[in-house]
């Protein structure tokens, strides 16, 4: 079992933090009385969380594609 690479760990952290931000952003206006300020901060948190989540998914996919390419065509770096 090889150790997970740096980008893989970062993308997992992005996915976790993004998911938490989405959950908190959706939950804040519901828990407190939904005032306008809470609603806007909740929406901004959801947008931030979605951005983190999507970037984490993109990082995971690009890492996997690199791995598949190197497995198919040999080492891409030439090492």
Total domains present in the chain: 1
Q: Is residue 3 part of a domain?
A: no
- Residue 44 located in a structural domain: yes
Could you tell me if residue 78 is inside a domain?
A: no
| pLDDT value of residue 76 | 52
Which tens digit of pLDDT belongs to each residue from 24-69? 888 877 776 666 777 777 888 888 899 999 988 888 888 777 777 7
Q: Regarding predicted confidence, which is higher, 18 or 29?
A: 18
> Does residue 61 fall inside a structural domain?
yes
pTM greater than 0.85 (yes/no): no
Determine, yes or no, domain membership for 56: yes
**Distance between CA atoms of residues 26 and 47, nearest Å:** 10
**Residue 74: left (phi > 0), alpha (psi -120 to 50), or beta?**
left
Residue 43 placed within a domain = yes
Domain that residue 40 falls in: 9-68
């Amino acid at each position: 079992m090889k150790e997970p690479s740096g980008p893989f760990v970062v993308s997992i952290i992005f996915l976790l933090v993004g998911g938490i931000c989405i959950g908190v952003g959706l939950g804040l206006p519901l828990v407190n009385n939904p005032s306008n300020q809470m609603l806007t901060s909740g929406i901004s948190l959801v947008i931030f969380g979605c951005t983190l989540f999507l970037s984490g998914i993109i990082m995971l996919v690009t890492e996997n594609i690199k791995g598949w390419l190197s497995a198919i065509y040999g080492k891409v770096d030439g090492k």
